[in-house]
Amino acid sequence: MSELSIKDGLDAMDVASYLRRHPEFLREFPDIAMALVLPREQGQAASLASYQLDVLRDKNRELNRRLHDLVEIAHENEALMVRVHTLTLALMRARSLAGTTSAVVAALTEDFHTDLVRLVLFRTDPELPAAEWLIVEPAGMSAFPVFSEFFKRAEPLCGRLQQDKLDALFAARADEVQSAVLLPIGSTGMLAIGSNDANRFHPGMGTVFLKLIGEAISTAIARYPA
Q: pLDDT (tens digit, 9 = 90+) per residue, 81-110?
A: 999 999 999 999 999 999 999 999 999 999
Asked whether the whole model's pTM tops 0.75, one would answer no
pLDDT greater at residue 62 or residue 44:
62
Cβ-based neighbours of 132, under 8 Å, separated by 6 or more = none
Shortest CA distance to 51 belongs to which of 70, 31, 66? 31
Mean of per-residue pLDDT scores for the chain: 87
Rounded mean pLDDT of 19-28?
Answer: 81
pLDDT score recorded for residue 36: 67
Say if residues 84 and 207 touch (Cβ distance below 8 Å): no
Strand positions, DSSP E, 28-140: 116-121, 134-136
pLDDT greater at residue 39 or residue 21:
21
Shortest CA distance to 135 belongs to which of 189, 61, 85, 84? 189
Task: Work out the pLDDT band at 26, boundaries 50, 70, 90.
Answer: confident
Rounded mean pLDDT of 161-190?
Answer: 95
pLDDT score recorded for residue 4: 44
